[in-house]
Chain A
Amino acid sequence: MIKTDILIIGAGPTGLFTVFEAGLLKLKCHLIDALPQPGGQCAEIYPKKPIYDIPAFPEILAGDLVNNLMKQIEPFQPGFTLGERAETIKKQEDGSFIVTTDKGTQHQAPIVAIAGGLGSFEPRKPLIPNIEKYEDHGVEYIIRDPEFYRNKEVVIAGGGDSALDWSIFLTDIAKSVTLIHRRNEFRGALDSVEKVQELKNLGKIDVITPAEVIDIIGESNVEAVSIEKNGEVFQKKCDHFIPLFGLAPKLGPIADWGLEIEKNAIKVDNTLDYQTNIPGIYAIGDVNTYPGKLKLILCGFHEATLMCQSAYQRIFPNKRYVMKYTTVGGVEGFDGSKKEAPKAVVKAID
């Protein structure tokens, strides 16, 4: 069981900045995210795109914003459970919560801060009849262990980086790799596209474009796929069909936690502290809604800051505290580091 003061669900910019504000109040944080890396949408969807409305940054790349946040929170030693989706929440007798992920990892904290953005990123499933029947029977939307495909015949569909990268990677493992895409052009990184071209020329990857998988054939496991190309349909024998059409966010299991939901977002008390209808559970950043809500990173930072003050009062109801400026109080990390403004040097004039 992982124990912490504030359990943050979602490691996007808002979740990451919460660690800093909590750290100033000596509260420890642990983050859960369905993606394998921190940064949320900024890291997953648009790391190379600029953002122009972060105060005091005339322009910053989304990926750099995440890197800066990771550096800023480093002294507060946050814990991470990455690549796992928060699945269930249970209130304990002592008022704390236990959050369990889809992989069974358990976390306990007196405060839960949901900073889940638009939800957890789930693979987009193609519209192929009966595809669900073959899930885990030869159809996989995510490659977890490349070894699983050793000496197998694999068909990959998609035109982005993950389709290209996995096609390249699996050529040395699988018996055969076929890449199918609706267009002749691929939108992945140029060197990946060139590498696939090279492997195609060497006969190591069979690239079929412009084409589409329209059906799956097999008794209980995938045995072949039907491919449509220029109006003609033919079958291709294979053991695995891996559609890699990117990820789309879904609110997911959080929607069933008994929280008040409005417009696909969690309703919070914006006049006070962004607490939900369940005391001890807060929702901050893009995942929440209230009158006048704006889904902006800068608003998430503000919400995280107010939320941490409220969390502190919940954990220590009898302690009096006033917010301290970092310029005055400095930043004392849990790792023993201390940053503070240099003291003024006093010197007399003779």
Chain B
Amino acid sequence: MEADIKITIIDREGISHEVDAPTDMNMNLMELVRAYELAPEGTIGICGGMAMCASCQCYVESEHPLPEKSDDEEAMLAEAYYLKENSRLGCQIHIHPELDGLIVELAPES
């Protein structure tokens, strides 16, 4: 079993949580937020992680190597609200060892 990494998630109330994230379970950032119940169920990951809603939008606050945005993610973000330069869909960011120390903030519910 691979070691867990640390990821900091700032929830929608502005509270910061440093959590252990497994790198061997094919998890993404949206699922990590749900696993630690850092956003109410039904307000995040509504489409299940298919980049077909923007409920898992987050702002990436650290310099980590992230995967390129797919066309689906670009298109979905183009219709998201509260968009910023560093907006990403949490479901499209897979957790892997290089993301140790990542800091993200959840976008407001919309």
- Using a CB–CB cutoff of 8 Å, the interface residues on chain A facing chain B are 41, 45-46, 49, 118-119, 124, 126-127, 158-160, 181-183, 185, 187, 245-246, 248-249, 251, 263-265, 289
Contact = CB atoms under 8 A, between A and B. Distances in A.
Interface in B25-80: 40-43, 46-47, 50, 52-53, 55, 71-72, 74-76, 78-79
Contact of A118 (B42, B52, B78): B42
Nearest to B76: A187
A289 B40 CA distance: 13
A45 B47 contact: yes
14 contacts: A41-B47, A45-B53, A46-B52, A124-B110, A127-B110, A158-B79, A159-B75, A159-B78, A181-B78, A185-B74, A248-B53, A249-B46, A251-B42, A265-B41
Given A127-B81, A127-B82, A159-B79, A49 B74 contact: no
Contacts of B47: 41, 45-46
A45 B40 contact: no
Question: Which 10 pairs, one residue from A and one from B, show the smallest C-beta to C-beta distance?
Answer: A264-B42, A187-B75, A263-B41, A183-B78, A182-B78, A127-B81, A245-B79, A264-B41, A45-B52, A45-B47
Contacts of A127: 81-82, 110
A41 B79 CA distance: 19
A227 to B, nearest CB: 16
Given A127-B81, A246-B53, A249-B42, 4 more contacts: A159-B79, A187-B78, A248-B55, A263-B41
A270 B42 CA distance: 20
Contacts of B41: 263-265, 289
A185 B82 contact: no
A245 B50 CA distance: 17
Interface of B: 40-43, 46-47, 50, 52-53, 55, 71-72, 74-76, 78-79, 81-82, 110
Contacts of A119: 42
A246 B79 contact: yes
Nearest to B40: A264
A46 B42 contact: no
A248 B42 contact: no
Contacts of B46: 118, 248-249
A185 B42 contact: no
B42 A265 contact: yes
A181 B72 CA distance: 16
A41 B43 CA distance: 16
Contacts of B74: 183, 185
A294 to B, nearest CB: 12
A328 to B, nearest CB: 37
B36 to A, nearest CB: 14
Nearest to A244: B79
Contacts of B71: 185, 187
A17 B82 CA distance: 39
Contacts of A41: 47
Contacts of B55: 248
